[in-house]
């Protein structure tokens, strides 16, 4: 994934790549079977201005991807969700809980949804708005 050109100045990017998880998700009747969750592949990138030296980063200042990972671990047990966009919004919200994060990119793909495709999904690049 390319770094967005909308960011000015130096930035640090923290990411989780190709995280495999499952969720009960989808609009199609075959996706709504309570015993058969859908396999998902999730990618998350968080961007923050690099205002100091990387050598001065600490546990208190890093872009911590553990909250994203923790949210994904809960997906297999959550109730059925109709839209991937709902999950996308939730992950963006988790990203912006870190006050340093000024932008994030989140994608969620269903790799097994169509036989003729390597996957189908949604992606958003979101810049923090005032008050977010």
* Domains: count for the chain: 1
Q: What is the pTM of this model?
A: 0.86
Q: Is residue 55 part of a domain?
A: no
Q: Is residue 120 part of a domain?
A: yes
Q: Is residue 47 part of a domain?
A: no
Q: Is residue 44 part of a domain?
A: no
Q: Is residue 13 part of a domain?
A: yes
Q: Is residue 51 part of a domain?
A: no
Own/partner pairs, 118-123, CB within 8 angstroms, 24+ separation: 119/41, 121/40, 121/41, 121/84, 122/84, 122/85, 122/88, 123/88
Question: What's the CA gap between 65 and 15, in Å, rounded?
Answer: 7
- pLDDT at 1 (0 to 100): 47
Q: Is residue 62 part of a domain?
A: no
What's the CATH code of the domain at 103?
3.30.1130.10
- pLDDT at 7 (0 to 100): 60
The string of pLDDT tens digits covering residues 36-53 is 899 999 999 999 988 766
The string of pLDDT tens digits covering residues 5-26 is 556 778 889 999 999 999 999 8
| Closest residue by Cα to residue 1 from 120, 129, 104 | 104
Q: Is residue 56 part of a domain?
A: no
The string of pLDDT tens digits covering residues 100-129 is 999 999 999 999 988 898 889 999 999 998
Q: Which of helix, strand or coil describes residue 29?
A: helix
Name the residue range of residue 18's domain.
Answer: 1-38+68-132
The string of pLDDT tens digits covering residues 54-77 is 666 666 667 889 999 999 999 999
């Amino acid at each position: 994934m390319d770094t967005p050109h909308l960011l000015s100045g130096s930035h640090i990017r923290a990411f989780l790549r190709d995280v495999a998880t499952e969720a009960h998700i989808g609009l199609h009747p075959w996706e709504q079977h309570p015993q058969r969750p859908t396999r998902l592949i999730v990618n998350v990138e968080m961007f923050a201005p690099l205002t100091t030296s990387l050598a001065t980063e600490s546990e208190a200042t890093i872009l911590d991807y553990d909250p994203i990972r923790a949210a994904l671990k809960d997906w297999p047990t959550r109730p059925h969700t109709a839209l991937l966009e709902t999950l996308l919004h939730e992950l963006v919200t988790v990203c912006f809980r870190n006050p340093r994060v000024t932008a994030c990119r989140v994608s969620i793909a269903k790799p097994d949804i169509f036989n003729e495709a390597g996957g189908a999904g949604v992606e958003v690049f979101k810049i923090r708005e005032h008050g977010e």
